[in-house]
Amino acid sequence: MIPLNEQNLQELKETCEDLGLKKFRAKQLFHYFHKEGGQDLSQMTTLAKNQRQELLALDLPKVDIEQVFPSKIDKTKKFLFHLKDGHLVEGVLMDNDYGLSQCISSQVGCRMGCSFCASTKEGRIRNLTPYEMLGQVYEVTKKYGRLHSIILMGSGEPLDNYDNVMRFLDLLHDENGYNLSYRNMTLSTCGVVPGIEKLAQENKPINLAISLHTPFQKDREKIMAVAKKYSLEDLFKAIDFYQEASKRRVSYEYTLIDGVNNREKDALELKKLLGGRLHHLNLIPLNPIQEYKENRPSKDHVRDFQRLCTDLGLNVTLRREQGGDIQASCGQLRRKYKEGSLV
């Protein structure tokens, strides 16, 4: 049976019937899990004790905040979440002008092998279940208030955990629960082509972000293992298919690595790739990790590259650096925490 806190309302109604509970209990349960962010049925006072007893025997996924790491330089907070089996995943809460935005993890570890990313160094350990993603949202909301938006850009490749991610987004969207618009959800992928094609057919206005990082196939293969499986050509065919279906702008994440992808020829090639497409190019200066010590470009180099792209007519922004003092890039915090080297 799907865990109770991962069932949609219809499924919960059927479960309640099977358990000999009145159908209206389904709405109470859904409200408890997804509106109140409740995780402990023994505390659900709208249910009589004898009814709770039966439900308490069911095993439910759970998420707790293990530790919060507030930035000293801005309002960004980083989290380690503790899962029932002892695994840790991380998340980031950013305080933007328009509201709170949270970066969510979709897997413990990742098997995509991007060379600049700490999350992938031990491979994919396991997928997160829908509730293990919801719980990240609910626990942070209880502490800091309602989120404006979420971004699936923490550890893990969301399209490598497709069904659980879709169930997570649908439950988060449900008007009887958290009621977050699909338009306020962003799914970031390193370029899993079949997943993008599948997403295109969902007919949900979820924002798509592509981790591009270089416009050249050969260079991309060097820093992103996924590029060996799905070429840039196939990736852009899938993006076109997605844009045709959704009519939505696609964002491109571009980590700037000095001398690797911030040359003039990179900007010119980006123009060729993105110029004719509805796009938003997001530049992110590299956060070096232990195993990937390539250079972070200087502020001047970053600005030069941004100007180059702007002059070429690209729609480009520089990601405001948030929480730079708290191991803000994906996977770094969890690794350091486990190594005991966090100060």
**Which of 44, 80, 110, 199 is the binder for ligand SF4 (CB under 6 A)?**
110
**Which of 5, 155, 161, 262 is the binder for ligand SF4 (CB under 6 A)?**
155
Per-residue binding string, ligand SF4, 183-222, x by CB under 6 A, is -------x--------------------x-----------
Q: Is 175 a catalytic residue?
A: no
Least distance CB 122 / ligand SF4 (angstroms) = 11
Q: Which of 110/314 has CB closer to ligand SF4?
A: 110
Nearest to 154 by CA among 336, 296, 328: 328
Give the bridge partners for 252, in sequence order.
Answer: 210, 281
Is the distance from CB of 186 to CB of 106 less than 8 angstroms? no
Rounded-to-integer distance, Cα 271 and Cα 268, Å: 5
Catalytic, out of 90, 139, 157, 253: 90
Q: Which of 39/186 has CB closer to ligand SF4?
A: 186
Per-residue binding string, ligand SF4, 19-48, x by CB under 6 A, is ------------------------------
Give the bridge partners for 92, in sequence order.
Answer: 78, 103
Least distance CB 117 / ligand SF4 (angstroms) = 3
* Structural tokens at position 322: 């948030």
State the catalytic residues. 90, 330
Provide the binding-site residues for ligand SF4, judged by CB under 6 A: 110, 112-114, 117, 119-120, 155-157, 190, 211, 330
